[in-house]
Chain A
Amino acid sequence: MRVTVDQDKCVGSGQCVLAAERVFDQRDEDGIVVLLDAEPSADQHDDVRQAALVCPALAIELAE
């Protein structure tokens, strides 16, 4: 699985961090998403899919 994020679209909701905190974080100053792990291990995949589904800005793309 390859994860990409679109920081232009991101609205800093933090929903991705709540779903998969080992893969996503937010910048301190404006809350915009930071990708911690672009190729997360298999045990993270469900959480990452959840993050992509709930991201309110459609800012997370997955290639599986």
Chain B
Amino acid sequence: MTAPPFRRGRPYPDGDLVMTAAPRPPSRVVVVGASAAGLAAVEGLRRLGYAGSLTLVGDEPHLPYDRPPLSKQLLSGEWDTDRLRMRTPEVLEGLDLDLRLGEPAAALDTAAREVVLAGGERLPYDALVVATGLTPRRIPGAEGVTGAYVLRTVEDALALRDHLGRKPRMVVAGAGFVGAEAAAVAVAAGADVTLVSAAPVPLADVLGDEIGTMLAGVHREHGVRMETGALVTAVTSADGAATGVRLSDGREIAADAVVMGVGAVPAIGWLAGSGLSLGDGVECDATLYAGSGVWAAGDVACWLAPRTGRPTRVEHRTHAAESGLAVARNILAGPGAGQPFDPVPFVWSDQYDLRIQIYGRTRGADEVRVVERGAGPRELVALYRSGDRVCGVVGVNRPRQTRGYRALVAQGADWHEAVGTQDAAPVAG
């Protein structure tokens, strides 16, 4: 069976079904989401020799910019916005893109293979990359209230930075990495900061009790108040301005700035009714293929991770770039001929003078073992166990050394062999 030519308005039988014929190379690729993952996909395609039409659609009006500094150097004022820019206009020009900025994709018609923009224009594609990232969760009561912030865009970060200049009384709801980083920057800027965490020990689900406890100690040392074991259930306000938060145990904390660091959900609303399988993100096979000529990359992609065999979504900066590149490769190979995407996840977080780095998956690990210490009390490397395998490594202020353990994670090394020569060492507070 040979593949029929692509034709507008007529569905092309899914590539997955046309296993015997070499897939016809795509000549129209559309990428929705003009950030880390989308940019990696378009750069990857050009680098691999794709010469067809390439459209990059983004709802933000900006050229692609980087998010990790939003809760770090941009928030603190150390950097200005031009340092966030991912590529110069000249480099982007060289990619020969049809760049549609400030234009949200509103719908996807998989039968016609067209993306529908909010303005009504329809963009036909042979291959589509969904790289729309996440939308931050908001807390009830925050809608339309000044002084209630999320932290996802450059506008979000600048608005909060502006408020930090007035040294507010601030509550950070949620002690994940973004919330904890915001708390660290805010307290250094002279704000009065309370960090509210649902877990008894912040980040314990990711880092384990010991390192989580150490981190909480560092926050306290810098003057952050910690409220643990409570959820923020509402933002309270008067006359449209935040006055504080209400907690699940009924208590209220007064504040004129509230940061909602309570996670984010995949930005898939525009895909409703497309026929794609949507759950916790765009559901893909191991090659990041979602069917109907659609691929997904970055924070929004939920793919069958070969390493675990489980549907997985990763919200990390390097994952965005790596998955975008993988999608580029697999688009050119064609559906059914792509390579499984099997990365070792990596993420970092900067809080005060601590640089935390994680390779692999540490959430819900069965055991944590410190295997290396540096000169200072807060320099260490710890391995994480899942079953009888190494599943992750966390380093605190030991970047180069931590990388040395990555291979154990990549191989899923035997736990006892990996730690056999190491003695358990308690974590210094």
Contacts and interface: CB of A to CB of B under 8 A. Distances in A.
A27 B398 CA distance: 10
A34 to B, nearest CB: 10
B321 A31 contact: no
A13 B403 CA distance: 8
A13 B40 contact: no
A15 B357 CA distance: 12
B50 interface: no
A18 B325 contact: no
Contact of B318 (A15, A17, A31, A49): A15
B181 interface: no
Contacts of B397: 30
Interface residues of B, number: 25
B318 A28 contact: no
A50 B419 CA distance: 32
B87 to A, nearest CB: 8
A26 B404 CA distance: 11
B346 interface: yes
Interface string B83-98: 1001000000000000
B403 A9 contact: no
A49 B83 CA distance: 21
Contact of A14 (B43, B83, B400): B400
B44 interface: yes
A16 to B, nearest CB: 11
A26 B401 CA distance: 10
B44 A53 contact: yes
B355 interface: yes
B69 to A, nearest CB: 9
A39 B230 CA distance: 55
A31 B400 contact: yes
B83 A54 contact: no
A11 interface: yes
Interface of B: 40, 43-44, 47, 66, 68, 83, 86, 317-318, 321-322, 325, 346, 348, 350, 355, 357, 397-400, 402-403, 406
B322 A54 contact: yes
A1 interface: no
Contact of A13 (B43, B66, B325, B357): B357
Given A12-B355, A56-B317, 9 more contacts: A12-B357, A12-B399, A13-B318, A13-B399, A14-B406, A26-B400, A26-B403, A30-B355, A53-B47
Interface in A10-47: 11-15, 17-18, 26-28, 30-32
Nearest to B39: A53
A14 B403 contact: yes
A56 to B, nearest CB: 4
A46 B103 CA distance: 34
A53 B318 contact: no
B400 A27 contact: yes
A57 B318 CA distance: 9
